[in-house]
């Protein structure tokens, strides 16, 4: 029989109520854990403590109920151990310390926590976005322009400091210039809004600048962090599909970061964890049946010849070379979903602000340079260079597999050390926010535009 905490002293009860009262630190202030503070029985206190403990240790939501597949290494909770340690914490009067130890302890979680507290303390203005009001057109000076610049910069539509340093001041604020409107047009095209550069209600919905909206997004980010194992592999590749960025950690230290192209809405890059086990030089590409029977269903012999493609056993196969959709290197990963990292024959896509356009795989900026880095770290540089210069498909096994985590974080700590915000391109925030007790809201979705013929 599982051990139950008993004999709750006033001090232990007070410590639990204090911890529950401070649950906003974890973005959980909209979740109820104890129905009534006054007169709660020991059994009710036990259940409240365990519910809060589970939320801190592994999250409120089971990610497998939202995402299929979901193979990221999750935080594990031993229910019997949880009840034993609760009983010990009650007996020793250390409820507060016990609960605090269950949440992620890393710097990023702490900074996101503080961001949530700061945003929650700001006035909500009844939930109305601060960009509400009259339409904003080029040439108008308006106090809202700095907020627009901030969000466009966060989303990668403006270089940091570029427009802000050159923006002119007018009688009513900063002037809304053609440069800023150009960035707004790019954002509007990505979200299926008429690309006129005029900031109206639909564009305001994408810019999403109210403190309440940002607080909601940070709470979701904290929940996603609680899902994951507290000890990620020290050497790993993390791909943030929401931001379309890759980070390579070597022995726990950030060694490299670069842009990527990831899945578009409808063919999203899934939440997976699987390792790279070999580099493939000059890969061939066997076109998946979904693409062969879709985008390539009506192509003729001329198209196949122009693109170095042949039909083998009913499958379209593209030969190696710079024209290949996989580019000149593929990073083979072990998973049953045919998801992997690779080069591309269209490097110009990395210059786009919105890089959600693939069929689910991840295209890596300067993939040859990245492959060279991994080969050097793995001690297989000679083998890799020989395979690369052969001009033929060659396989170079790594001496040790490199874990890859395909994550989805539209709020995170950026390379500059600040909290960074992105839009929710896949619309994956809403069910998590609902489970955390936030009211529903209409959210702008990234437009599912044309994907090119590549995985």
Return the domain boundaries, the chain.
10-104, 129-209, 232-284+319-426
The pLDDT score that the predictor gives to residue 435 is 97
pLDDT tens readout for residues 236-255:
999 999 999 999 999 999 99
| Mean pLDDT for the chain overall | 90
Rounded distance between C-alpha atoms, residue 213 and residue 422, angstroms: 12
Nearest by Cα to 287 from 266, 318, 308, 248: 318
pLDDT at 143 over 60: yes
Pairing of strands 245-250, 236-240: antiparallel
234 secondary structure, DSSP code = S
Rounded distance between C-alpha atoms, residue 266 and residue 346, angstroms: 21
Contact yes or no for 193/206 (Cβ under 8 A): yes
pLDDT at 25 over 80: yes
Rounded distance between C-alpha atoms, residue 16 and residue 126, angstroms: 31
The pLDDT score that the predictor gives to residue 132 is 66
Least confident of 37-41, 107-111, 366-370, 449-453: 449-453
Cα–chain center distance at 129: 24
pLDDT tens readout for residues 391-402:
999 999 999 999
Contact yes or no for 237/404 (Cβ under 8 A): yes
For residue 402, report the phi and psi dihedrals to the nearest 5 degrees: -110, 115
Active site residue ranges: 342, 361
Q: Which one has a higher pLDDT value, 132 or 228?
A: 228
Nearest by Cα to 188 from 174, 172, 201, 177: 201
The kind and range of the H/E element at 90 are: helix 79-92
pLDDT at 267 over 90: yes
* Mean pLDDT value across residues 342-349: 95
pLDDT cut 70: percent of the chain above it:
91
Q: Three-state DSSP class for 34?
A: coil
Q: Identify any residues that bridge with 420 across adjacent strands, giving them in sequence order.
A: 412
pLDDT tens readout for residues 307-319:
999 999 999 999 9
The kind and range of the H/E element at 260 are: strand 253-263
Q: Three-state DSSP class for 398?
A: strand
> Homologous superfamily of 232-284+319-426 in CATH?
L,D-transpeptidase catalytic domain-like (2.40.440.10)
pLDDT at 53 over 80: yes
What residues contact 36, with CB distance under 8 A and at least 6 apart? Answer: none
pLDDT at 165 over 50: no
Rounded distance between C-alpha atoms, residue 89 and residue 83, angstroms: 10
- Within 13 A of 329's CA, how many CA atoms are on the CB side? 23
129-209 has which fold? Muramoyl-pentapeptide Carboxypeptidase; domain 1 (1.10.101)
Cα–chain center distance at 92: 40
User: How many DSSP H helices and E strands does the chain contain?
Assistant: 14, 17
Q: At what angle do helices 10-21 and 42-58 cross, to 10 degrees?
A: 40
The pLDDT score that the predictor gives to residue 393 is 98
* Mean pLDDT value across residues 146-175: 71
């Amino acid at each position: 029989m599982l051990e139950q905490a008993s004999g709750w002293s006033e001090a232990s009860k007070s410590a639990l109520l204090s911890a529950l009262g401070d649950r906003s630190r974890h973005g959980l202030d909209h979740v109820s854990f104890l129905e009534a503070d006054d007169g709660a029985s020991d059994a009710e206190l036990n259940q409240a403590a365990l519910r809060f403990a589970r939320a801190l240790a592994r999250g409120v939501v089971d990610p497998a109920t939202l995402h299929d597949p979901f193979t990221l290494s999750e935080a594990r909770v031993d229910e019997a151990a949880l009840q034993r340690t609760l009983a010990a914490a009650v007996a020793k009067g250390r409820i507060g310390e016990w609960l605090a130890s269950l949440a992620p302890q890393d710097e990023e979680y702490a900074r996101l926590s503080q961001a949530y507290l700061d945003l929650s303390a700001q006035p909500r203005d009844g939930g109305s976005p601060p960009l509400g009001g009259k339409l904003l057109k080029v040439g108008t000076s308006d106090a809202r322009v700095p907020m627009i610049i901030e969000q466009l910069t966060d989303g990668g539509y403006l270089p940091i400091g570029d427009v802000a340093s050159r923006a002119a001041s007018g009688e009513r604020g900063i002037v809304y210039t053609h440069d800023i409107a150009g960035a707004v047009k790019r954002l509007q095209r990505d979200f299926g809004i008429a690309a006129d550069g005029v900031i109206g209600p639909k564009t305001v919905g994408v810019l999403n600048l109210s403190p309440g909206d940002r607080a909601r997004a940070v709470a979701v980010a904290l929940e996603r962090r609680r899902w994951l194992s507290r000890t990620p592999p020290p050497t790993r590749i993390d791909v943030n599909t929401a931001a379309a960025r890759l980070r390579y950690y070597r022995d726990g230290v950030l060694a490299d970061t670069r842009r990527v192209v990831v899945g578009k809405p409808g063919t999203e890059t899934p939440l997976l964890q699987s390792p790279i086990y070999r580099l493939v030089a000059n890969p061939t590409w066997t076109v998946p049946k979904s693409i062969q029977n879709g985008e390539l269903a009506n192509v003729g012999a001329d198209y196949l010849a122009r693109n170095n493609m042949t039909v083998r056993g009913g499958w379209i196969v593209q030969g190696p070379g710079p024209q290949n959709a996989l580019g000149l290197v593929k990073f083979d990963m072990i998973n049953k979903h045919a998801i992997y990292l690779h080069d591309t024959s269209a490097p110009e896509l990395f210059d786009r602000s919105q890089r959600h356009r693939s069929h689910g795989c991840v295209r890596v900026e300067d993939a040859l340079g990245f492959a060279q880095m991994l080969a050097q770290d793995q001690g297989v540089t000679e083998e890799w260079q020989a395979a690369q210069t052969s001009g033929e498909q060659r396989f170079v096994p790594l001496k040790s597999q490199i874990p890859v985590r395909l994550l989805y974080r539209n709020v995170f700590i950026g390379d500059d050390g600040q909290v960074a915000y992105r839009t929710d391109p896949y619309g994956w925030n809403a069910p998590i926010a609902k489970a955390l007790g936030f009211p529903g809201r209409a959210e702008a979705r990234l437009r599912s535009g044309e994907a090119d013929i590549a995985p």
